[in-house]
Structure 1
Amino acid sequence: MQITAAVAHASGGPLGIETLELDDPRPDEILVRLDATGLCHTDLAILDQVPLRWPAVLGHEGAGVVVRVGASVRALAPGDHVVLVAASCGDCASCRGGQPSYCLCYQSLNLGGGRRPDGSWTHRQHGRPAFGSFFGQSSFATYALATERNAVRVDADLPLQLMATLGCGVLTGAGAVLNTLRVRPASSVAVFGAGAVGLAAVMAARIAGCASITAVDTRPQRLRLAAELGADRTIDAGDTDAVAVLEKSGGVDYAVEAAGHVAVMQQAVAALAPGGEAALVGVTLGQSVRLDPTLLQSRGLTVRGTLAAGRGSPADLVGRLAGHWREGRLPIERLVTVFDFADIGTVVERARAGSVLKAVLRMPHLE
């Protein structure tokens, strides 16, 4: 079938709205008509830094309605509203253990060669293969192929333009707090980086009952929003040594690094109290973090990586977060600005410049 997609033809290049051909769903796949897709920092990092097979269709925060299902699909049916998350194999030890975010096939399924695991192509342009299947979806398009493993059914009355953010950004920030760190009530948390992921972590810390929540960033407007969303204290790292401030009060029990900078990761670890734990969320392609082993040993610190839903099921966490949104405890709408899909080129530039917090693209049939 023909679809409309935002297509990239070179690293760092613009995205153009073009027509592609999408393969029919295989027996284990579903066809989703997308209502919305979020724009995530990972999309920008891959577009700007990773050589792909061109043309390419990225996007991995899709939300929409199932229109067709393959013969072997049992958990979903046409008409179901779904949020698309990262792909997983379902067979490895991590998947069997209920942690598909750490699937042993994660890289090949989500960031591989732009095709299905069997090597077949999902997308073509003018009869030639195009890079697709990004995070098992390639959601910068009007339609996407996914599987029932990476499609989470949500209630039909939930706004898909907000629920799309649960596919990665909000899921990752909240997952770092609720699933990876599993913060204790009445504990203290510092979140380094008040972008969409960091602010999701702030909201999750409030939901978890943390007694002290500190947000650290260099942008005053984002710190003001962090305070409105639940941070008890904000620190402008542009003119204040955040680690010194936090150490003066004995450090924090937990730290979340959501800025994606190596130096900030080191600061997040240094700000921990004895026995503290840090979760590193930010994407730093090709970079290494140097940590002082004496600091880790003398304070008994734990440093964890975290991805998507962290140590738990994405489907379970999406459901929980949707429930928190209904209750008014997770006001995703405070983060989101909705744009028409046709404006994706301009939106990408605004996201690169940091002038939009969380962009969500509304598909043409809703414009």
Structure 2
Amino acid sequence: MKIKAAVVHEKGQDFKIEEVELAPPKADEILVKIVASGVCHTDEVAKMQAIPVPLPAVFGHEGCGIVEEVGSAVTEFKKGDPVGFSFGYCGHCENCLSAHQHGCENFNDINFGGVMSDGTKRLSQKGQEISSFFGQSSFATYAVVNQNSAVKVEYDIELALVGPLGCGIQTGAGAVLNRLRPSFGSTIAVFGCGTVGMSAIMAAKIASCSKIIAVGGNPTSLELAKELGATHTINRKETDDIVGEIKKITNGGCHYAIDTTGVGDFVKKALGCVRFLGTVVVLGATGDMTINVQEELMGEAKSLIGVVEGDAVPKLFIPKLIQYYKEGKFPFDKLIKFYDFEDINKAFEDSHNGKVIKAVLKIN
């Protein structure tokens, strides 16, 4: 079928909304009419080829919509079901079978290799195959998605809000609720006040952390962080000794720290601000950095860990986040600003410049 999609043909070029061909769903796949898709930094990183997704490609990996057609082996969904999408995984490797789909041994091939979980492609243009992204390519009017990556939702939430739960929001909230599981009254510092950081802050409040410290450089975002659950904020542009300030607030260091910035210096600061036996989670795409393992890590029995996709099983975790939202405990809608699909490049520009925390494209 012919659909409209935001295609990237060359490294770094703007998104171009063009007509492409979408093949029908296979036995274990569903065809979805896209309602909305979140704009994520990972899409931009791939567009710039820091993640070398084969081009041309259609990006977008925080999609949601209405099921239009189901494959012959699909039993969980039917036409008309509202669904959100999350990451792709193979479903048969050791990690998938032990409910660690975020650690799928084929994760990089399926999500960044330009192919679906069976190694083939569904998108083409004038006879040329086009790469998919995260097994969905949701910057389009329709998408074919493996049933494993779709999550059925109820009609009592605005469907356009559901998309961002599939990656950025799940990542931040899941790092706290699924991986760290902080004890009552513990303390945490969050570096970065974007979508992932704000989600971690809201989750820390749900977990009843006594001190939640938001570290960022945008005064407006820091004010919102307070509204969402931060007990203290630190403006990194106005504070010479961030580590010292966090230690002062927490009487010697926090129990946990999360870096969402991907900046090596902030990872080091996160390590510096946690106390003996503290744990630091890295959620940003961080490059090379140097640490003194004895002084900064092992000597105080600290842990430095990477977490992918919030250590979540999306079919279980996304409904939990929606329930928290309905109960007023997880107001992630305060992060979101909607854009028309045609304004996709503006949405990315505003996201890059810090004018919006979570841009979401309304597509149909």
TM-score relative to the length of structure 2: 0.96
Give the whole-Å Cα distance in 1 for the aligned partners of 2:333 and 2:76. 29
Aligned residue for 1:275, secondary structure, equals strand
Asked if 2 retains the 8 angstrom alpha-carbon contact of 1:21 and 1:123, the reply is yes
Aligned ranges for residues 87-236 of structure 1 at < 5 Å?
87-112=88-113, 114-132=114-132, 134-236=133-235
Structure 1 gaps of 5+ residues are none
8 Å Cα contact 1:80/1:156 also seen in 2: no
CA-to-partner distance for each residue in 1:263-307, whole Å, 9 max, x for gaps? 1111111111111111100123xx223232112122111111011
**In structure 2, C-alpha distance between the alignment counterparts of 1:251 and 1:102, rounded to whole Å:** 31
Is the 1:243–1:267 contact (alpha carbons within 8 Å) kept by the matching residues of 2? Answer: yes
Deviation at 1:332, TM superposition (A): 1.2
Question: Which whole-Å CA distance do the structure 2 matches of 1:130 and 1:100 have between them?
Answer: 25
Deviations 1:27-46 (A, max 9, x none): 11111111000000111111
Cross-structure match for 1:5: 5
Give, in whole Å, the separation in 2 of the partners of 1:273 and 1:307: 24
The farther-off stretch of 295-304 and 137-146 is: 295-304
> Which moves more between the two structures, 83-92 or 72-81?
72-81
* Partner Cα separation in structure 1 for residue 281 and residue 88 of structure 2: 22
The CA distance in 1 between the partners of 2:304 and 2:314, in whole Å, is: 22
What per-residue deviation string (whole Å, max 9, x for no partner) do you get for residues 42-61 of structure 1?
Answer: 11111113444332100000
Q: CA deviation at 1:236?
A: 0.7
Q: CA deviation at 1:356?
A: 1.6
Q: Is 1:180–1:279's contact at 8 Å kept on the other side of the alignment?
A: no
TM-score by length of structure 1 reads 0.95
Contact 1:101 1:314 in 2 (8 A): no
Of stretches 347-356 and 25-34 in structure 1, the one that deviates more from structure 2 is 347-356
Q: Secondary structure at the match of 1:210?
A: coil
Superposition deviation, residue 121 in structure 1: 2.0
Q: Aligned partner of 1:360: which letter?
A: V
Q: Percent identity?
A: 40
Distance 2:154 2:292 in 1: 47
Q: Separation in 2 of the partners of 1:190 and 1:350?
A: 26
Matches within 5 A, 1:1-367: 1-50=1-50, 51-112=52-113, 114-132=114-132, 134-240=133-239, 241-248=241-248, 249-284=251-286, 287-294=287-294, 295-310=296-311, 312-363=312-363, 365=364
Aligned length: 359
Using the alignment, how far apart are the partners of 2:176 and 2:253 within structure 1? Answer: 17
Equivalent residue letter for 2:260 = A
Separation of aligned partners in 2, 1:185 and 1:168: 26
Q: Say if 1:279 and 1:306, in contact at 8 Å, map to a contact too.
A: yes
Q: CA offsets per residue over residues 67-88 of structure 1, 9 Å max, x none? A: 1111111222211111100011
User: Are the structure 2 counterparts of residues 292 and 247 from structure 1 closer, same or farther at C-alpha, using a change threshold of 3 Å?
Assistant: farther
SS of the residue aligned with 1:136?
Answer: coil
Q: Distance in 1 between matches of 2:288 and 2:183?
A: 30
